[in-house]
Chain A
Amino acid sequence: MWKRDEAVRQPAQPAVPTNEAAAAAPAAAAQAVRPDTIKSQNVRDVVNIGKSVVIKGELNGSEDLTIEGHVEGKIELRDHVLTIGPNGKIKAELFAKSVVVLGEVIGNVSASEKVDIRENGSVEGDITSPRVAIAEGAHFRGSVDMAQKTSKAASGPRPAEVKPQPAPQPVMQAQQAQKVG
């Protein structure tokens, strides 16, 4: 009992509280609490749809979602991450902040941040997102629209604007190009 009391009392207020310490105390207390809170929030905020679940219709949410089952219709998680797990089979229009595909998707995918098709992931449809990553071994059929003003502004210098030529590598030096005719 005595030992338990000590452990509980340790993060409590110092013996001689100063103004600064008093001001810092709530923050320290918050820090002490935060990891557990975040963990529980994470656990709470990621929702899974299991392998055996079949959904037909419209799916809306304000939490991150992982789908391992079958969904047909429309999925909308505007400010959250949608993950299609390796067993997930989707025939739907997808709207999310970020979409990660490890399973199969047939339908258009729209993400405000990023679409990531991982190895063995499959998408048949049109993708609209400022950032798209397609891994080696992924299957994709459709078009990719990265035409957003923000992405243009954020990207590096355009090819026409690049003035300094990169130093040629030894392999390339041996393969200088000639103009035909």
Chain B
Amino acid sequence: MHVPDGVLPTAVCAAGYAAAVPITWYSIRKINQTGDPRENVPKAALLTAAFFVASWIHIPVPPTSVHLVLSGLMGAVLGYFAFPAILIGLFLQAVMFGHGGLSTLGVNAIIIGGPALLASFIFRLRGLRGDATRRSTGIFGFLASLCAIGISAALFTVLLINFIPADLDADTERHAILMLALGHVPLMFIEGAFTAFVTVFLLRVRPQMLTES
């Protein structure tokens, strides 16, 4: 779901940065409003690294295996830190592995980070009717991740089909959209289930990790 360098025109790359800046500013503003924001920086940073590493876990989906994006889970656990964390993760992926890109960093942050922020709001709804239970945590964890991946996949597909410098006819374009969309549906459910399992696990083992977000 990472758009690489060289695929999108400059205007779209610049628009991605222009959209990422206010979201980053908003997230940092919200982080600064919590007690001592620097206290949470090491936690957010190490969890960012942990999410980065956890995305290396391969889930077997015969005949192949997939690795997860985990943006929904990041939203659930990191709250307002999710967008900066994803921005940093994407930056490190671009400079260390050439995955994604520097010119498309803003666009990729919007594609993955924006829905992660939305996932954090969805996950917060689990405590709407008093204390969060295992069931409500699992359900809202699933929904948060399902929505995050679904929206990311939709944004990725729309951007790629509309802005790739190629003359695709309407029929090919429709097929490409359908194929990309269908390809992401199993991933949405796998990510949702994975987030549900992990959030319930965290609720049992370290519940403060979920309440702090």
Specify whether A and B are partners. Answer: no
State the B residues within 8 Å of A (CB).
none
> Residues of A at under 8 Å CB distance from B?
none
